[in-house]
Amino acid sequence: MARTIYILLFSLLALGCSKIETTKKTTFSNPILKGFYPDPSICKVADTYYLINSTFAYFPGIPVFKSDDLVNWKQIGNALDRPEQLELEGLDVSRGVFAPAITHHKGIFYIVNTIVDGKNNFVIQATNPAGPWSNPIWLPKVEGIDPSLFFDNDGKSYIVFNSNPPNNTPEYDGHRTIKIIEFDAKTNNTIGEAKIIIDKGAKPEDKPIWIEGPHVYNRNGYYYLMAAEGGTAEHHSEVVFRSKHILGPYKSYENNPILTQRDLNEDRENPITSVGHADIIEDKYGNWWGVFLGCRPYDNNDHFNTGRETFMAPIKWINDWPVFDLQGDVVKKKYTIVVDSKTTISSAINKSFQDNFNDKKLGFDWLFLRTPLKKWYSISDGKLTINTRPETTSGKSNPSFIGYRQKHLFGYAATKLSFKATSENEKAGLIAFQNDKHYYYLCKSIRNNKPIVQLLKSTENSTEEIASKSILETDSLSFKIQAKGKYYDFLYALNRTDWLLLKENVDATFLSTKKSGGFVGTIYAMYTTSSGGKSNNKAVFDWFKNENKK
């Protein structure tokens, strides 16, 4: 009998050890998505996680990422990847696709979203998150921004969204509300009228501004409404409310905000700022995590060019309230997470990148400025050929621009170009672009029928030359934009290795949102234009590289 008990205990211990050995603790690095990936929304299906972000006036819209461990992310598609899904012509760069939210229910993925200055709010569906996604189904009764879809246990579903104040009469600038409206997932129509469930924000007496980005969760008999507050700059935050009923009334957590960095010393080392606009998820091991946007400034004046990025931190539950567990006051660059014992941390999506254009199609992470209504580029024999067209980045149409996010505070973007201008209006090269009034353009052109390399800086409606150099005509040359925090260097080479400096220590803060405004990050793009004139020219790019230094 004793031997039997011993064997049983040994077996149980062995099972326990086996279970322990299937997982391990490791660390991940923030941001989990570097560069212009703001407003994250996340969902979990079985043991797989899916995450999406805002793209504003860039096409394709709404990148879709997949992960098995919340650490290693891979882009599997874009939800708005067909021109008929996304009309962006005439929109400012920071308009268009605001704050999408992803949900899964009974085998169907849903994204609800806003096209600001477009047709406003819509829902799209897919059975495979990699696509194809449906064309937008418009929701005219969802009249605000930042909609999020929630499926309740009783079979009903609801959309919550940022909206107007009572009677459309704000008491102060930034006075907004959160509304809720029932949604019929079978017909993709809303039901009844929207109801205000949050007015002003977490502490109405303090006149909070811009309550937005709401999400609803159901746990332990409570409905939780989580939302961003305070605007998307340094005063950004995340707050939470709860109720026993989906329609409210909702009680504000007494220790709101549950996430912010606005009260910290501005001189702290390596700050992460502007945190908020969060979504939370329970992982497959029973741990909770929050994804949120944040910024990495390169000085104490909150200048940053990499845009609003996606970060992640643990969530702990205190008296049935979700609170970000930052393990101190500041958002950390590393946190510990439980993963499968076989998991290796690659974070490949955040490392150096090179495209030699050997595939027939562009990768998912390339961006166009607004929707290309015609195909003006081609890929063959390891080369990307872009037609030189009249449209410019100073306008509000779709220029001959194919871009990649600046992901690193210190690093560079480089490309090799074959191009011979036939007029001074024709240019081709590499641009560091923030918006139509804030960019630097390193390009090849001609002056007095002689080839030159130019560095142009945007003005209110056009450009000014801030550096130039005469060169001998050559079949190809390379361009490099070197990021050094608050400075850029602009270089060129008649071959790939012997770089010549055109201009150094150019003010990078000119491309920061602190100076340019808006909600996007800097994009490095291969770009050619005839500056409004007619052209039959083409620019041929052999490769593009984005190197991470820091």
Checking if the pLDDT of 11 tops 80, the result is no
pLDDT in tens, 418-428: 999 999 999 99
The pLDDT, as a whole number, for residue 26 is: 93
Checking if the pLDDT of 322 tops 80, the result is yes
CATH assignment, 353-548 = 2.60.120.200
Checking if the pLDDT of 17 tops 50, the result is no
- Percent of the chain exceeding pLDDT 90 equals 90
Residue predicted with more confidence, 126 or 269? 126
pLDDT in tens, 186-197: 999 999 999 999
Residue 6: how many CA atoms within 13 Å on its side-chain side?
Answer: 3
Give the pLDDT band of residue 345 (cuts 50, 70, 90): confident
Give the pLDDT band of residue 99 (cuts 50, 70, 90): very high
Type and span of the H or E element at 482: strand 477-484
The pLDDT, as a whole number, for residue 300 is: 84
The pLDDT, as a whole number, for residue 21 is: 57
pLDDT in tens, 501-527: 999 999 999 999 999 999 999 999 999
Structure tokens at 451: 């080839």
* Nearest Cα to Cα of residue 59 among 278, 367, 408: 367
The pLDDT, as a whole number, for residue 6 is: 41
What are the boundaries of each domain within the chain? 24-350, 353-548
Choice among 339-343, 362-366, 370-374, 490-494 with the minimum mean pLDDT:
339-343
The pLDDT, as a whole number, for residue 1 is: 44
pTM of the model: 0.94
DSSP states along 71-126: SS-EEEEEEE-SGGG---TT--TTSEEEEEEEEEETTEEEEEEEEETTTEEEEEEE
Encode 52-82: b = buried (16+ Cβ within 10 Å), e = exposed.
Answer: bbbbbbbbbbbbbbbbebbbbbebebbbbbe
Question: Across all residues in the chain, what is the average pLDDT?
Answer: 94
469 in Cβ contact with 452 (< 8 Å): yes
* Nearest Cα to Cα of residue 363 among 131, 73, 68, 60: 60
* Nearest Cα to Cα of residue 422 among 307, 539, 518: 539
DSSP 3-state assignment of 291? strand
Type and span of the H or E element at 17: helix 2-21
Checking if the pLDDT of 429 tops 90, the result is yes
pLDDT in tens, 455-486: 999 998 889 999 999 999 888 999 999 999 99
Structure tokens at 54: 């805002």
pLDDT in tens, 217-237: 999 999 999 999 999 999 999
For the annotated catalytic residues, the residue numbers are 39, 212
Q: Under CATH, which architecture does the 24-350 domain have? A: 5 Propeller (2.115)
The pLDDT, as a whole number, for residue 5 is: 39
